[in-house]
Structure formats: C-alpha cells, structure tokens
Structure 1
Amino acid sequence: MRIKSLTARVLLLTTVWSTVALVVIGLLISTLYRKSAERGFQDLLRAQLYNVINSVTIGDQGALSGSPQLGDLRFAQPKTGWYWVVEPLGTYTTAPLVSPSLGSALIPVPSVVEAPFDKNYERYYQVTDASGNRVQVAETEVVLDTDGRAARVRVTGNVDVVEDDVRTFSHSLYLALAGFGVGSLIVNALAILYGLKPLDKARAALERIRAGESEQLKGDFPREILPLANEVNALIDSNRRIVERARMQVGNLAHSLKTPIAVLLNEARVLEKSHGELVRSQAEAMQGQVQSYLNRARIAAQRESVLARTDAEPALERLVRVMRRLNVDTEFDLVVSPPHLAVAMEQQDLEETVGNLLENAARFAKSRVRLSAVEAGEDVKGVEASARRHWVELAVEDDGPGLEPDQIREALKRGRRLDESKPGTGLGLSIVTEISNEYQGRLELSRGEWGGLKAKLILPGVTKDVA
C-alpha cells in the first residue's frame, strides 16, 4: 500500500531500520558473549584439570593418592555435573581416584577418533552423565613417575552454567536494547515532527490562499522550503497576470463586437419583414456565439487558478432573492449544506449557470422551485478523477410537467425550445452545459421527486485540505 504521508513514510523507515539494526546488534553481541563464555568455561576446566594433575601422585604401595582442592563445592556435591577422575593407564593397574560428586557413577568416554587430542595432548567434548546433566569434559594423559606409570585425568563442568549465564546476559541485553530502541523512536518521531513543522505552515498558508484569505504564500520558512514558497508565489502572480490579461482581451473584444451587432439588429427592424427576421435571427445567433466563446476564453484563462473561489450561500441567496421578486406567485426554497460551502469557479459563472436553471424552472413551475447545494465528496461518477479532488452538487427542481428522456436529449441541444409558447432563446441549457464542461463538471437532467424537471450540476468545490 502506498503511504501518502511524508511523516508516516519517514517514521516507518526509521522504525524498520532501527528495529533491524537493534535486532542484528543484539544477536551479534549475544553471539560474541556466548563464544566468550564458552571459551572462559573451557579455560576454567583446563585450569582445574592441571590442578588435579598437580595434586595426584603414586604412593608407597603403588596406588594413586592425592586430594585435589579445586575451591568449588560443586565437586563435593553429588549429581552436579562437576566431576574429576584420575584413571590408571596401560599396565599400571590400581583403583582410580574420583571426586565425591561422582561417586560410583561413570562418565561416558568417546573414542579418540570421535574426539581427537590437540597439539597439547588435550581434548574437549560434551557428554551426558548418569544424572542427565550435559557436561563439558577436559581430558589429558600424563606420566606420573620415572617408571613410566601413566594416568588419564578428566575434569567436567555442567554446561547449563554457561547456558544460564548467556541466557541471563541476553535477557538483560534485549531489555536494554528494547528500551533504547523505544527511546530512539520517540526521539526520532519528535525530531521528524519538529523538522517537518514548516511543511504544516506551508500547507496552512496554501489553505488560506485556497480559502481566499490570502494572495501570497506568507510565512517564515527555512532555507529548504523558501525556494518552493517563492516559486509558488511567482506562479500565483503569473496566474493572476494571465487572468487579468485574458479579462482585458475579452472586454476589448466584447466592446469591439457590441456596436456592429447592435447596428445589425437596429437595421433588421427597418428592413422588410422577411429579410429583417433573417438578419435579426442571424445577428442574435452571432451575439450568442460571441458571448459563448468569450465565456469559454475567460473560463479557460482562470479555471485552474487557485484564486477562483465563490462562497455558494451568499451568491445563491442573491439569485433566489431576485427570482422571488420576478416571480411573486412562485415559492423558492434554498438549501445550502454545509453553510460555508465554496465553489471553485468565478462568481459570475456560477450566477450565470444557476440563474439560467432558475429561470427555466420558474418558467415551467406550477408553484414551487427548490435550489440546493451540497457536498458531493471526492469520487463522483462520470467526472475526471484527476481534475479535482472535491465536488459540489447544485440541484434546481420544480413542480412543473417535467421532461421525458427523449425530450431531455432534445432540450440539451443548442437553440432548441420544446415549448414555443414560453419566452426564451433556447440557449440557456446549452450555456449551462458549456460553462460546467469548461470547469470539468457536468449537467444532468432528470425527473424530480415533485414530478417536474430536476437539473443537477456537478461543479468543482474548494477543499480545506490541500496537502
């Protein structure tokens, strides 16, 4: 799954790296300590082995004699796994010497092939004694006198001592590393959050621009973010200049075409009826086409601007107030949810689209028209997902006769009027469709719950989250 949060990414990477590093370090230290403990254990057994050798002699009767004092009470306690044994070798036969801890028990001895002697004529191996203890054996063979009488000497130690020591050390080590790891993650998290704090400030500044509260990305940013802030401010300034230049050109073009079209319309009134009607209709079509393409040019120049923002409630209230004055016999309802809903388009474009829909609804309504504006969320079927992340749904519904599906298709064609008895040019719905399309939205017509026509506009909204 792709993580979109920069903070979460850094925290995840540091957590994974710290965990892996601490686990590897813990295993490495534990392994090194085990090797050191095993080497120390073997050195201890070797020292005890030579203590036994130095304590044993051959008495006057030819018997082995001696009482090794190894300074460890475990050699005197039975079944501890700590034993020493001195056995005669070759033709030298006598009773062996054993530690009190071994008693009459025997220690299993592997063959020299299985556990060979080293260059010091010593060998070390592990066996299990009669009591079930795992013991490490240190063994060597020595000549005891000038007559060549020899003996085999063994000293054993319980391996569980080493295992317990390593286990205790590892437990303490892992606890210490775990505490260090948790502390490091907390410190890293605080450092990352503190380090990324300027990005939160930049996001808040962008939100203020999106909300129309500021026109520049303002703030005390660090060196790493300051170039980005400057580029954003330069982009906003460039965008604003493009919008102003486009508006000026639109105004100039509209002014230059206004007079010729007015002259044509005036001349049409004095011409013969047949010719006058033709000239008038063509002039009106020219006027509509010019206005339509001027609107397209103006919208294309500023539709991607972060400064295009209109608060829905006050704009729609003005439209409804005007419609109530013009249609005193019709009831107009307005619903805006949430109250501070904003649309990412110019106010005059919003008023033109909704105004056309309200005029159509008032023209065919029996007694009631409802205008609603609500949030539509981020995933809207039929709208480009990459264009905007937030959408607003505006709906105009009346209690008139409504339209059938084939009539809806016909009504959306430019200049088509289904009812010639009603005033109008047939361009209203076409203009609404063109403007909504330019903002990458759409217009839908259907039958409403009152039985009349329901016109639904999906338009880009202003989201508070621009991160």
Structure 2
Amino acid sequence: MAIRSLTARVLSVSTVWAVVALVVIGVVISALYRQGSERGFQDLLRAQLYNVINSISVDEKAALSGSPQLGDLRFSQPQTGWYWIVEPIGEFDTPPLISTSLGTAKLPIVSVDEVPFDIRYERFYTTTDPFGNEVEVAETEVVLDIQGHAARFRVAGNRDVLEADIDRFTRNLTIALSIFGLGGLGVNALTILFGLKPLDQVRRSLEKIRTGESERLDGAFPREIQPLANEVNALIDSNRRIVERARMQVGNLAHSLKTPIAVLLNEARVLEVPHGELVRAQADAMQTQVQSYLSRARIAAQRGSVLARTEAQPALERIMRVMRRLNPDKQFSLSINPPGLVLAMEQQDVEETVGNLLENAARYAHDRISLNVEPAPEDAREREPGRQWIVLQIDDDGPGLDPDQIAVAMKRGKRLDESKPGTGLGLSIVSEIVGEYQGSVELSRRDVGGLRATLVLPAAV
C-alpha cells in the first residue's frame, strides 16, 4: 500500500467509509422524503379534486353549475399554478367551469394513452401551464346525474411548493448530517489514535533498543500486544545468549591455541637462523590466520544483532591517538560530519579494520594521513534496501598504487614491499571483516597523488 502508516490507513478507511455511509444515508433519506412528499402532494390534490366534485352539479337547464370553495386563495389568484377545471364529456353540451387563477388560458393535457387511469379511475401527471409553472394534475371523470351527464374534473397544483419543501428538507438534512459526520469523524479519529497508542509505545521501545538505551521491550501493553512484546524480548534474550556463547567459545579456542603458538615462537628463537626464521614466520602467520578466523566466527555469531553498535567519534579518536603516538613524525587528521554517527559493528571490529588501514597508510605516507567519515550517498545505500551506510575515507600522501598493484595487495598474504615488516594479511583481514557486515573496502589512487582506502560500513539507526 502507498500509505505506510497503520494509523493513517485506519483513519483513511474509516473516514472514507463514514463519508460514503453518510452520503448514502443522505441520498436514501432524501429519496424517501421525496416519495412521501409527492404522495402527500397527490393526496392534497385528490382532496381538492373531490371538493370540486362535491361542489359541481347539473342544473335544470342541463348546464354545469357550482362554485367550489377550496379554502385556498391561490385558486383565485392569476397565474399561480393552482387551478381547477370542469369540462363536460360526450353529448353534454355546456360551457366548462374554470378557476379564475387560470382565466381563459388553456392547460396542456397529457393523453390517456401516455398516462392511463388507475383502478380508482384517477390519474396524475406533470405538465407545464401557459405561464411556465410546472404543475401536478389530478384528474378523474364523474357521472353527475341520472340522465348520464358526465364531466371531467381536473385540479392542478404548482410543484414549486413541493420542490421548495424538498429542498428545504434536503438542506437541513445536509447540515445535520455534516455536523454529525464531522463530530463522528473527530470521535472516530480520537478512538483510533487512543486504540493504537500502545503501538507507538512499542515503536518507542524498539527505538530505544536500536539506539542502545534499552535491552528489552519494557512497559504495560494491552492483552493483544503483550504476546508480541514477549516474543520480541524472547528473541533478544536468545540473540544475546547466542552471542555470549559464541564469544565464550571463541575465547576458549583462542586461549587453547595461544599457548602452543607461543611455545613454537619461543622454540623458534633458539633454533639456527634459517630454520628459526622459517618457523617463526610460519608461527606468526598461523597466529594471524587463527585470529582472523576467530574474528570471522565471532562476527558471524553477532552479525545483524541490534546490540552491535559503536559510536564513531570516540572509537576513531582513540585509534588516531594511538597512531599519533606510534608515528610521531606523521600528521593525522579526523573529520566526522555530521557528529554522532553510529556504526552497526562491534568496537573491536571497527578498531581492527580502521587500524589496519591507518597502519598501512602510515607505513607508506610521507607526512599526512586523513580520515573522513560521512553518511553514504544514495547509490551506496542500494546495496541492501532498508539499511543505511557510512563511508570512511583514509587518504595518504604516499606514492600510491597502480590498479594492478591494488589487485595484488588485496590478495591474502601478498606484499608489495618485502622490505617493510608484516605478513601481507592486513588488507585481507579487513576485507573479510567488512564483508561479514555486508560492507565493502576499495583502494584507489588519488588525483593529487597517494592512496585512498574507502570503507562502506553499516550504520546503526
């Protein structure tokens, strides 16, 4: 879904449903009111029609006579849209009787074929009078005496009255439903926000765990959320136990190998020079490789843990102080922008990777080594969606390396300068540690000369 907020989803769905429901309710009520109003309007015309029928008779001259008194002045005022008409039928030859409101004008009549009479011998239809009024007509035919004289009776009412009443009701209904709808939406929003408030508490607790402020989901949660909190806490406890167990096993293995390797190194010192040098070099390499594999095992045990986090500034400043003490003739500079960046790595892994690269830089630099730390650009963040990354650039002013030399330097145990001390495993170890965290390390020649080592490491958020 495009909407990622659960609160926004619930509010959107409930708001849309409430609006649709209110619109449908308004339309239905308006339609029912219209039906009732039209039925009432027809009943009024029917009553007036029978009042006219009761007021008309045939006199001794065989002519229509009578003066209906309908109690409504609109039947006597001209062009009001309220009329009554009595017309003779068949051989009944007599002038028709017409209300003064219609005068000499003719009211258009709808044919019986279009609107036939019902079982009560009545029919209702809508037409337009000569004055532009839309009128509803009630019509019937009645035999007036025993001689068979019959007449057609019509009573017309102006539909403007009906439409005005319906419009007034619709307007009041719209206002009432709008007030009710806005109030209901407000109450609904408050209810949803109050109901989802425990999820915000869970989110804040998870943020505290991610930032290292807390180690568990703490708080009193509703019955529906408490099982989730319990499972998260159980997962964190299990993860912590796995990390501690892995660290303990790594420590035990390191301790068990430390003594035999130390014995080999001591024995190598008393051997003759060619053999002693060979044994000591191999023991040093073995010690370095064992340490490398132990580090990989430890990293694999805790990788992805929310507990693995190191603040960049204090850790890197500590490494820079050590490097300045070991290399008093070199200038080291550190820039972290913005301050407060946190790496999702164990501190000793950060120190080992950055320390190895700074040591290499100090070995070949003439005067200056710089370390710049900043958030990774967008293209670097695509390596693993949903994660953030930090870029560390270590620059020196040394001779630098060609692309072919860089490829050789990244291979395990390869050294470009045999005159310098080392085993050739430093860059390989850095690459392995960084790879365990799904990061990357890259060497490149600077435009102004020297070598640039670029580390892309995961950020803790």
- The two structures share one fold, judged by TM-score above 0.5: yes
1-side partners of 2:179 and 2:269: how far apart? 93
TM-aligned CA deviation for residue 449 of structure 1? 5.5
1-side partners of 2:296 and 2:31: how far apart? 75
Q: Secondary structure at the match of 2:424?
A: coil
Is structure 2 residue 299 aligned with structure 1 residue 299? yes
TM-aligned CA deviation for residue 34 of structure 1? 0.9
Q: Which residue of 2 aligns with 1:145?
A: 145
2-side partners of 1:17 and 1:85: how far apart? 52
TM-aligned CA deviation for residue 274 of structure 1? 4.3
TM-aligned CA deviation for residue 377 of structure 1? 6.3
1-side partners of 2:449 and 2:402: how far apart? 11
Contact 2:393/2:452 (<8 A) preserved:
yes
TM-aligned CA deviation for residue 412 of structure 1? 1.1
Out of 389, 398, 401, which is 2:399 matched to?
401
TM-aligned CA deviation for residue 381 of structure 1? 5.1
Contact 1:383/1:442 (<8 A) preserved:
no
Worse-superposed segment, 272-281 or 117-126: 272-281
Aligned residue pair count: 461
2-side partners of 1:158 and 1:350: how far apart? 90
Out of 426, 434, 437, which is 1:436 matched to?
434
Q: Which residue of 2 aligns with 1:129?
A: 129
Q: Which residue of 2 aligns with 1:358?
A: 358
AA of the residue aligned to 1:432: V
2-side partners of 1:256 and 1:52: how far apart? 121
Q: Which residue of 2 aligns with 1:220?
A: 220
Q: Secondary structure at the match of 1:374?
A: strand
AA of the residue aligned to 1:46: R
Is structure 2 residue 37 aligned with structure 1 residue 37? yes
2-side partners of 1:118 and 1:87: how far apart? 20
Q: Which residue of 1 aligns with 2:309?
A: 309
Q: Which residue of 2 aligns with 1:268?
A: 268
Q: Which residue of 1 aligns with 2:161?
A: 161
Is structure 2 residue 449 aligned with structure 1 residue 448? no
Q: Which residue of 2 aligns with 1:286?
A: 286
TM-aligned CA deviation for residue 174 of structure 1? 2.0
Worse-superposed segment, 403-412 or 101-110: 403-412
Q: Taking structure 1 as reference, are residues 382 and 53 closer, same or farther at Cα in structure 2, changes over 3 Å only?
A: closer
Q: Which residue of 2 aligns with 1:196?
A: 196
TM-aligned CA deviation for residue 190 of structure 1? 1.3
TM-aligned CA deviation for residue 161 of structure 1? 2.3
Q: Which residue of 2 aligns with 1:460?
A: 458
Is structure 2 residue 91 aligned with structure 1 residue 120? no
Q: Which residue of 2 aligns with 1:71?
A: 71
Q: Secondary structure at the match of 1:202?
A: helix
Q: Structure 2: any 5+ residue segments left out of the alignment?
A: none
Q: Which residue of 2 aligns with 1:209?
A: 209
Contact 1:58/1:145 (<8 A) preserved:
yes
2-side partners of 1:281 and 1:77: how far apart? 125
TM-aligned CA deviation for residue 187 of structure 1? 1.3
AA of the residue aligned to 2:203: R
1-side partners of 2:122 and 2:324: how far apart? 112
Q: Which residue of 1 aligns with 2:172?
A: 172
Q: Which residue of 2 aligns with 1:342?
A: 342
TM-aligned CA deviation for residue 400 of structure 1? 1.6
Give 1:53-64 correspondences, 5 Å limit. Answer: 53-64=53-64
AA of the residue aligned to 1:11: L
Instruction: String of CA shifts for 1:94-141, please: whole Å, max 9, x gaps.
Output: 111111111111112233222211111111111222122221111111
Worse-superposed segment, 333-342 or 373-382: 373-382
Instruction: String of CA shifts for 1:224-253, please: whole Å, max 9, x gaps.
Output: 222211211111111111111111100110
TM-aligned CA deviation for residue 448 of structure 1? 3.4
Q: Secondary structure at the match of 2:369?
A: strand
Contact 1:342/1:462 (<8 A) preserved:
yes
Contact 1:443/1:457 (<8 A) preserved:
yes
TM-aligned CA deviation for residue 345 of structure 1? 0.9
Q: Which residue of 2 aligns with 1:375?
A: 375
1-side partners of 2:191 and 2:442: how far apart? 51
Q: TM-score, normalised by structure 2?
A: 0.95
1-side partners of 2:379 and 2:72: how far apart? 79
AA of the residue aligned to 2:443: L
Q: Secondary structure at the match of 1:380?
A: helix
2-side partners of 1:205 and 1:356: how far apart? 37
Q: Structure 1: any 5+ residue segments left out of the alignment?
A: none
Q: Which residue of 2 aligns with 1:418?
A: 416
Is structure 2 residue 236 aligned with structure 1 residue 236? yes
Q: TM-score, normalised by structure 1?
A: 0.94
AA of the residue aligned to 1:441: G
2-side partners of 1:377 and 1:124: how far apart? 78
1-side partners of 2:435 and 2:178: how far apart? 59
Contact 1:398/1:450 (<8 A) preserved:
no
Q: Which residue of 2 aligns with 1:96?
A: 96
Contact 1:86/1:151 (<8 A) preserved:
yes
TM-aligned CA deviation for residue 396 of structure 1? 1.1
Contact 2:381/2:389 (<8 A) preserved:
no
2-side partners of 1:186 and 1:415: how far apart? 69
TM-aligned CA deviation for residue 415 of structure 1? 1.4
Contact 1:378/1:390 (<8 A) preserved:
no
1-side partners of 2:257 and 2:136: how far apart? 108
Q: Percent identity?
A: 69
2-side partners of 1:173 and 1:50: how far apart? 34
TM-aligned CA deviation for residue 222 of structure 1? 1.7
